[in-house]
Amino acid sequence: MTTTEQDAAVVTDAAIPRWLWIAVATGIAVTWTFDLMTPLGVAGGAPYVLVVLLGLWTRSQGFVWSLAGVCLLLNLLGMAYSEPGLGKKSTWSTAP
């Protein structure tokens, strides 16, 4: 096998370090909790981007796409189960 073929080889789950699995699971759990605690209109699902970017560490496209799909699903569920939005009275959640 040439080096080009080795570089193009699919990374298996066994090649993904244990610390990365723990970091991804923790990031998803913390973001999901934060997303459910914030009302609609606050970008509570934005930290999911960090979880997906953390998945890039593996260089496995399948792992990154799987993370993106899970984060998208949890983001949509967070929108469905979060408290009602901030309302028309306030434009920004940080504005007085």
User: How confident is the model over 56-69, as pLDDT tens digits?
Assistant: 988 889 999 999 99
pLDDT value, residue 45: 79
Matching residue, tokens 């792992």 = 63
User: How confident is the model over 11-59, as pLDDT tens digits?
Assistant: 455 588 899 999 999 999 999 998 888 888 788 778 899 999 999 988 8
Domain boundaries, the chain: 18-80
Helix, strand or coil, per DSSP, at residue 20: helix
Please say if the pLDDT value at position 90 is more than 80: no
pLDDT value, residue 81: 85
Q: Is the dihedral of CA 75, 83, 34, 49 positive or negative?
A: positive
Radius of gyration of the chain (CA): 18
pLDDT value, residue 46: 86
Q: For residue 94, name the pLDDT band (cuts at 50, 70, 90).
A: low
d(CA 55, CA 20): 8
Matching residue, tokens 């570089």 = 7
